[in-house]
A = this chain, B = another copy of it.
């Protein structure tokens, strides 16, 4: 990672030339539910989307826009995913793009659309039509309302920004994300919108985005479920000036700064996982290969028994051993070491009895690091997750009911 990039306070409007807005239009009962993000000048665009076979209408729309490489704006509603809505859903997504384009005076084929919320209900288009007119007339250089308007069961908005000096040019990167549930890594996860005033070709932008997402959003899991709407969009308008970023060194520096922003947002998504009370970082080393390390780390991060023990703050290492053993990876039970923070909990596959109390103290924190060494090879991987609580069940056991009652 470059030393020339650092995080700064900010959001999607921190890069020059981006405007945003967010309003309540009536998809939800009360909270903000319609966001608009636009650039004053044309942008190169890159995007990564859910690998779910069931794709929401706006995802299909965005893939066409991204394929052409140019965009000017993104319109996003929360409260309704416009997924499993058939031909009507397609028409509604297209209409959202067209109305936004008309309001902003830009080409309709350069407007991206994203939706998040309940699956299988038609969008309330009359509310959205009126909302698009209203949100597009109140755009400003602040992403605060937009970041609120894209949330669903999230408990706080997720924004981040970074600056980097690339050659003679200072560029800025900003981002916002929503998370909370259906979080699992299969290409892009959740909704995330990134902006930059750097100048990049669509091809370079795509490479940087893929690298940044593989370090961040592809390394988190809340509940193993994959959304029909997962979308990560990156817009680059070149407003910082200078030649397009090119060459390995400059691109590497840009990608480093982008990864910082994406990682910040990804960690916020985990911290705000539905019902989460703590963020847990599993670092698996000593595996036969990086791929095996990744599989093992995801097995740990996905095990209900491990996640409930983490919720209870219990150093139940036996469940971790059982999860590792069922990951389908090479494993020698008597070589496994497990550390919770600085405390060695398992040595050579056996529990360290005197570690129980100090390990429990570590597990009581809001951020927990668990390091596993399989003692076999040099494969490594890190995965971020959260604990699993009764609150997750309460939220998801009555989502539709809650939604109409409180949102």
Contact = CB atoms under 8 A, between A and B. Distances in A.
A7 B401 CA distance: 43
Contact of A333 (B84, B324, B326): B84
Nearest to A312: B397
Interface residues of A, number: 63
Contacts of A308: 392-393, 396-397
A305 B184 CA distance: 12
B84 A321 contact: yes
A242 interface: no
Interface string A177-215: 000011010100000000000000000000000000000
A260 interface: no
Contacts of A86: 334, 348-350
B390 A394 contact: yes
A228 interface: yes
Stoichiometry, as copies per complex, reads: 2
A85 B228 contact: no
A134 B323 CA distance: 36
Interface string A382-407: 00000011101110111111000000
A325 B120 CA distance: 14
A54 B334 CA distance: 10
A42 interface: no
11 contacts: A54-B325, A119-B318, A223-B305, A224-B303, A226-B325, A228-B321, A304-B392, A312-B397, A314-B400, A389-B393, A389-B397
Given A52-B322, A119-B322, A224-B302, 20 more contacts: A52-B325, A53-B329, A53-B331, A84-B318, A84-B333, A84-B351, A86-B348, A86-B350, A121-B351, A182-B305, A224-B304, A226-B326, A228-B322, A305-B396, A308-B397, A312-B397, A312-B398, A314-B399, A314-B401, A389-B397
